[in-house]
């Protein structure tokens, strides 16, 4: 049972080096927090990461919402990720044919493949999307991983039934897949990681379809990594909330495995 196993034991069953590294750093730092730094200014993100870095396992960004994107911003994030030992995820939600995603991943202004340890991918186009993304990594020596968007958090999401089931199968065919973005305990493989967004201590939804559950509830539903965005970014004392979420999530994980 994946939910009863500890991260260190699971890291030995991971099929990629980056999945193993992720599970090991979660164990070492005692954190399952994935911070969604959905801010639109590069300096705001860097300032938040300077506070949060020691307490997070993954920093998740949406690079295309940043108004003053520049290479120095990426260099600063990379330095912080080495210093504080967290992985960087670009939540690009790739969703096109293999040839197009290959270009989107490695080219353009952002050159995501050069700096993002992890990316998110909609499986909607079929397995060719994974081949396309792999193709873009030909000249990249660092380890890279993919989270498939298997089940979305928003109201009325179309990621249900057969779509979800076939995504679980697709994950098993690719050594790039590190885990699933999903809302519940829908897969067994202890070598894969469940990343669950829609996490907030207080409010149950926003006005645009997002639905929230508490840290304890998502961990009991199988979340290995929990994504927290506005629960932290909109707090008056952000460091306090980072630590609060980290502690609540870690306690729930400890209770889950015991
Ligand atoms: O905590 P919030 O609601 O402020 O932010 C949630 C973050 C956002 C979303 O783009 C993302 O999580 N997200 C995802 C991811 C991680 O891929 C999938 C999903 O189903 N729902 C969701 O909110 O950055």
Q: What is the pLDDT of residues 15-39, one digit of tens each?
A: 899 999 999 999 999 999 999 999 9
CA pair distance 229, 200, nearest whole angstrom: 8
Output the pLDDT for position 109: 97
The answer to whether the predicted template modeling score (pTM) of the entire model surpasses 0.90 is yes
Amino acid 214: pLDDT: 97
Burial, 13: exposed, middle or buried (Cβ in 10 Å; 0-12, 13-18, 19+)?
middle
Q: What is the DSSP letter of 212?
A: -
- The protein residue with its alpha carbon nearest to ligand 1, atom 20, reads 152
- Side-chain-side CA neighbours of 154 within 13 Å: the count stands at 8
ipTM for the complex shown = 0.99
Q: Which residues of 217-250 are buried (b: 16+ CB within 10 A; e: fewer)?
A: ebbbbbbbbbbbbebbbeeeebeebbbbbbebbb
* Nearest atom within ligand 1 for CA of residue 147: 17
Average pLDDT, the chain: 97
Closest CA to 128 of 105, 150, 97: 97
Q: Which residues are annotated as catalytic?
A: 93
Helix-helix angle 128-135:98-106, to 10 degrees? 30
Cα 258 to averaged position of ligand 1 atoms, centre (Å): 29
Rounded Cα distance between 187 and 185, Å, is 6
Q: What is the pLDDT of residue 204?
A: 87
Q: Is 79 exposed, middle or buried (0-12, 13-18, 19+ CB in 10 A)?
A: exposed
Task: Give the position, in ligand 1's atom list, of the atom nearest the Cα of 230.
Answer: 4
Q: Which residues of the chain have pLDDT under 50?
A: none
The first and second tokens of residue 236, run together, are 């008056």
Segment holding 147, helix H or strand E: strand 145-149
pLDDT at 203: 81
**Tokens for 84?**
């504080």
Q: Six-digit token pair at 80? A: 């912080």
Q: Residues with Cβ within 6 A of ligand 1?
A: 36, 38, 91, 120, 149, 152-153, 181, 197-198, 210, 227-231
> Packing angle between helix 238-257 and helix 42-52, nearest 10 degrees?
50
pLDDT at 132: 98
> C-alpha dihedral over 150, 154, 158, 161, to 10 degrees?
60
Q: For residue 15, what pLDDT is reported?
A: 87
pLDDT tens profile 41-71: 999 999 999 999 999 999 999 999 999 999 9
């Amino acid at each position: 049972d994946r939910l009863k196993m500890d991260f260190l034991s699971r890291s030995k069953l991971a099929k990629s080096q980056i999945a193993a590294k992720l599970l090991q750093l979660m164990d070492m730092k005692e954190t399952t927090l994935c911070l969604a730094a959905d801010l639109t200014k590069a300096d705001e993100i860097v300032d938040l990461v300077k506070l949060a870095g020691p307490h997070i396992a993954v920093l998740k960004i949406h690079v295309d919402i940043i108004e003053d994107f520049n290479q120095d911003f990426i260099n600063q994030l990379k330095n912080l990720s080495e210093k504080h030992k967290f992985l960087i995820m670009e939540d690009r939600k790739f969703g096109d044919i293999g040839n197009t995603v290959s270009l989107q991943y490695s080219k353009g202004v952002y050159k995501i493949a050069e700096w993002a340890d992890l990316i998110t991918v909609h499986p909607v186009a079929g397995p060719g999307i994974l081949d396309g993304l792999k193709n873009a990594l030909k000249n990249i020596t660092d380890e890279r991983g993919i989270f498939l968007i298997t089940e979305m958090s928003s109201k009325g999401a179309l990621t249900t039934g057969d779509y979800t089931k076939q995504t679980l199968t697709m994950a098993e065919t690719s050594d790039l897949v590190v885990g699933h973005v999903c809302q519940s305990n829908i897969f067994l493989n202890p070598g894969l990681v469940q990343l669950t967004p829609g996490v907030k201590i207080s409010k149950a939804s926003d006005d645009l379809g997002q639905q929230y559950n508490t840290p304890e509830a998502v961990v009991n539903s199988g979340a290995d990594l929990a994504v927290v965005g506005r629960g932290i970014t909109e707090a008056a004392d952000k460091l306090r909330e980072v630590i609060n979420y980290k502690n609540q999530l870690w306690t729930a994980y400890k209770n889950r495995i015991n």
